[in-house]
Structure 1
């Protein structure tokens, strides 16, 4: 299958590379000529503009072109869609693989000539080799047309599914991120008590032991072990400032609208915001380092 990819940052390049590895043809474009050139070196066909990318794409067997957007959520998505609009037809399929708000995805699906798929993407750059978890919303025929690409980008057929109509994919990803906040907070608080408590403990050893058969084993716990191994059990100079917050905020806002109590997720979000005013909490320092583990986000460090 031939796929156009717009946006060649860390996540976009993974989409390109995994599709190439699976034998798909990729036409790639980024506002950065260097990023486009690097994708071409990896085997993609380079385009020098959105128009050029559309010209290079051919209709598939079912008709239409397939285009994957991996640009920052918000204005960048709307700007890219505006650039694409003159070249799209009703037979084309556009995938938004970023962290867009689900209501924005519904609006874009209604306004876009092509079939529009909102694709929540989990795993981060650390999952480049294993593949992502993909939560997709939008028309079923469009989802089925992109299944070979989803198989390639995800961990395989079990790593993706259609969640429902337009918006459902990014809705599920939004709640996923709220759960992620809560899990990070729970691990952070547990290790804070162990760190400050009555025994002199090797937290790397604790994390490793827990992750071998314990009920609370998980990838996040593996990343806790990694953090203690690489930074030391006191986390060295890792700061307690925890960045991010948009998807957690959206989750709490939706819970308020639906009158669903999410006290743990709300408190995790509050702790994240509190990290920007208060100082000293070990749990926040661990959350800061965990974000690097799964997403390769920059680690804020003490001066």
Structure 2
């Protein structure tokens, strides 16, 4: 650097894929970055990429925008006070390891440390308390993957409002942007030329842990959304006999309508890709064993713990688990029989249209489950979550960005106390109008022996919530029979408990 005394706006610790791209994004938005990683090669790679991009796209800027640091002490000495440090390290022990190293390096109590990894939200709550005397621990969940981090992610910050006020200008600058009227992403993938117009896809979520909880649910919805698309693919490919490329064409058409989304767009691209080695459809050369990193599981577990029905998210986690049991599936394929005939539909295009409606309904049902889960957890924790704002920041930059998030935004703007998305007029009418096609898709899958756990569970969720009476009355009778667990009566005030003496005189007792 020509000016050795120059101070930097923010430090980035951890220069893996996400950290490096966040650092470059911040630099593009005219903030000076000090960067560090335990791997000196990653520091060098980041500095060199900044130099290449600056010389190619920003020839008028001669000074490096990213400074590579040899250690944390050097980084702290180069930052403007109060310091802001962004951590991009794996969740768990590595976060605490960096925090302890920063304390040893001389971090001060009014400095801000921001965890941007996929940390479990309860860990974030605990860390804010643990490090409160040493520095301000803040968290910000990041969605959008490598490209999002580089050119505009969706950011879900939570923690101290004082810390948020300090970093808000940087976060609004680097976040993805959308057109305020249409809700559509404004995208530009050119180094040194960030999108500055439109609404930024970031907002203060709430107290410590709330941002990571919202991101966790986002990922749970992502699991379900991906599985729903995969089930539609299998119905079209295995059921109707369409080639992978033909299914890709169908998905491209669907992406022009109400199903417009990032996941639909990339699914079409994947399906139309030929394998460079064999020339066959690439998707057919990819082994059908899905991996997972845990956030979908966390979402399903949280829904069970709090008693919030999220069956489609849970089924998506189970579907990945089943996919890993490849050898068992191969064995059972020889032992278990299925339908003797393949799927029969009267008219192929009609069924494709019905499946499009079914997929839309299932996706809305899935989002309803996610937002209800956030609402129940918010009530449990005392968080004041703004669901219109959360839907807004998911419209661009994140993996589940989709056109109908604009409708979800509007639904919560019209009724901030909305208990379930299915109660919003636009979705209640939309699903009611399309539910017949949804049922045809589910029944066709069942009769054809094609597993569709997410599309089916989403329909069961819809039917459960529209049912005034569920068979839980029999279930309560069973529980009272074997365990004297009591039950309430339909003709008595809520909260009054009764027990029938099933083993002797069968007299009814108010408990």
Separation of aligned partners in 1, 2:323 and 2:290 = 6
2:112–2:135 Cα contact (<8 Å) kept: yes
Separation of aligned partners in 2, 1:128 and 1:259 = 34
Displaced runs of 4 or more, over 3 A: 231-234
The one of 125, 148, 151 aligned to 1:106: 125
Does 2:17 align with 1:10? yes
Partner of residue 286, structure 1:
none
Separation of aligned partners in 2, 1:51 and 1:275 = 47
User: How far is the alpha carbon of 1:211 from its aligned partner?
Assistant: 0.5
User: TM-score scaled by structure 2?
Assistant: 0.52
Partner of residue 136, structure 1:
157
The one of 78, 95, 107 aligned to 1:77: 95
Separation of aligned partners in 2, 1:234 and 1:195 = 14
Residue 106 of structure 1: SS of its match in structure 2? Answer: helix
Partner of residue 20, structure 1:
27
The one of 186, 199, 217 aligned to 1:175: 217
Can you give the 5+ residue segments of structure 1 that lack an aligned partner in the other structure? 282-293, 295-303
Q: Which has the higher Rg, Structure 1 or Structure 2?
A: 2
Partner of residue 200, structure 2:
158
Partner of residue 227, structure 1:
270
CA-based RMSD: 1.9
Residue 273 of structure 2: SS of its match in structure 1? Answer: helix
Partner of residue 301, structure 2:
253
Separation of aligned partners in 2, 1:46 and 1:234 = 40
Please give the residue correspondences for 1:80-95 in structure 2 after superposition, counting only pairs within 5 Å: 80-86=98-104, 87-95=106-114
Residue 110 of structure 1: SS of its match in structure 2? Answer: helix
Can you give the 5+ residue segments of structure 2 that lack an aligned partner in the other structure? 1-7, 51-63, 178-198, 275-279, 334-398, 400-511
- Please give the per-residue CA displacement for 1:94-124, whole angstroms capped at 9, x wherever unaligned: 1100000001111111111222221111100
1:122–1:132 Cα contact (<8 Å) kept: yes
Partner of residue 301, structure 1:
none
Distance 1:141 1:36, change over 3 A: same
The one of 191, 212, 215 aligned to 2:233: 191
- The count of aligned residue pairs is 278
Deviates more, 1:179-188 or 1:267-276: 267-276
2:157–2:211 Cα contact (<8 Å) kept: yes
2:223–2:316 Cα contact (<8 Å) kept: yes
User: How far is the alpha carbon of 1:3 from its aligned partner?
Assistant: 0.4
The one of 199, 216, 220 aligned to 2:259: 216
Separation of aligned partners in 2, 1:229 and 1:236 = 11
Separation of aligned partners in 1, 2:240 and 2:295 = 36
Please give the residue correspondences for 1:32-43 in structure 2 after superposition, counting only pairs within 5 Å: 32-41=39-48, 42=50, 43=64
